[in-house]
Homo-oligomer: A and B are copies of this chain.
């Protein structure tokens, strides 16, 4: 007897993983949530049919979405995470000793609860005293915040359903105002191979507000095409390490940081031709 989970990654592409157990299934007010056990990738969190993270490869995503923007900032103290209810981004932020407080804004409390119960290697930092979890709409939260954060990380789901607004110029404008003067923003912006339109849209929308905008890429086996983009904006500081890179992960290193904004020609061309 065989059980498989199939994700329609695009309308023309699908990934299938063998499943050994379905640990949790829930219809939340926002989405369908599942936690399953897979042979290839360990435990996997799925929202509305899309793989969010797996125990085995999540470090590749969480190290890139966190450490690149946090080393662009010269002294990150207050960090906001929009989305990312699994806790992986918060876990990585906590590795930076300068960070004093993390506001973790997740619209769907069920994601946080499921992750605390089933994904302890991701959610392990959520009870840290520096972390405050706010179960609310990230767009409204940032609209009402002024000049408070050093870094904002948009760890959203795909640009369908509740996350659509998180890729808009209007939202990046709220984020700009919610940041202090050295502020840095980082958003996950999908696969540069499978969803080039979304990457271009986010990049152009971020440039409406931020004077410095760059893209970094990294491996991510369980996401469509196996690699992923992160778009980073800065209000003032240049897009490079603005303090000593004294942290090394399983993937992220000083060397990754040194080349973070040094894009391959095919992605440079994509951005330049899409202006």
Q: Which residues of A contact B (CB under 8 A)?
A: 4, 6, 10-18, 38-40, 56-57, 59, 193-194, 219-221, 225-227, 248-251, 253, 255-256, 259, 262, 264-266
How many chain copies does the complex carry? 2
Tell me which residues across on chain B come within 8 A of A227, comparing CB atoms: 219, 221, 226-227
Q: A15-B15, A219-B219 are in contact. List 11 more A-B contacts (CB 8 A).
A: A11-B39, A12-B40, A13-B15, A57-B225, A250-B264, A251-B264, A251-B265, A253-B262, A253-B264, A253-B265, A255-B259
Cα separation A219 to B221 with both chains bound (whole Å): 10
What is the minimal beta-carbon distance from A204 to any residue of chain B, in angstroms? 22
A-B contact pairs, 19 of them (CB 8 A): A11-B39, A12-B18, A12-B39, A12-B40, A13-B15, A13-B16, A13-B40, A14-B15, A14-B17, A40-B194, A57-B225, A193-B221, A219-B219, A220-B226, A221-B225, A225-B226, A226-B227, A250-B265, A253-B262
Tell me which residues across on chain B come within 8 A of A13, comparing CB atoms: 15-18, 40
Pairwise interchain contact A251-B266, C-beta atoms closer than 8 A:
yes
Tell me which residues across on chain B come within 8 A of A15, comparing CB atoms: 13-16
Given contacts A225-B221, A264-B251, contact A16 B17 (CB under 8 A): no
Pairwise interchain contact A193-B10, C-beta atoms closer than 8 A:
no
Q: Give me the 4 closest cross-chain CB pairs, A-B, nearest first.
A: A226-B226, A12-B39, A12-B18, A221-B225
Pairwise interchain contact A40-B10, C-beta atoms closer than 8 A:
yes
Most buried by B among A4, A16, A249: A16
Tell me which residues across on chain B come within 8 A of A11, comparing CB atoms: 18, 39
What is the minimal beta-carbon distance from A148 to any residue of chain B, in angstroms? 34
Given contacts A12-B18, A265-B251, contact A193 B57 (CB under 8 A): yes
Cα separation A118 to B2 with both chains bound (whole Å): 37
Tell me which residues across on chain B come within 8 A of A249, comparing CB atoms: 265
Most buried by B among A10, A13, A253, A256: A13
Tell me which residues across on chain B come within 8 A of A225, comparing CB atoms: 57, 221, 226
Cα separation A262 to B248 with both chains bound (whole Å): 13
Cα separation A14 to B16 with both chains bound (whole Å): 5
Tell me which residues across on chain B come within 8 A of A59, comparing CB atoms: 266
Cα separation A11 to B20 with both chains bound (whole Å): 13
Of all chain B residues, which has the CB nearest A8?
A: B16
For A12, give its contact among B38, B226, B266 (CB under 8 Å).
B38
Most buried by B among A250, A262, A264: A264
Tell me which residues across on chain B come within 8 A of A262, comparing CB atoms: 253, 255
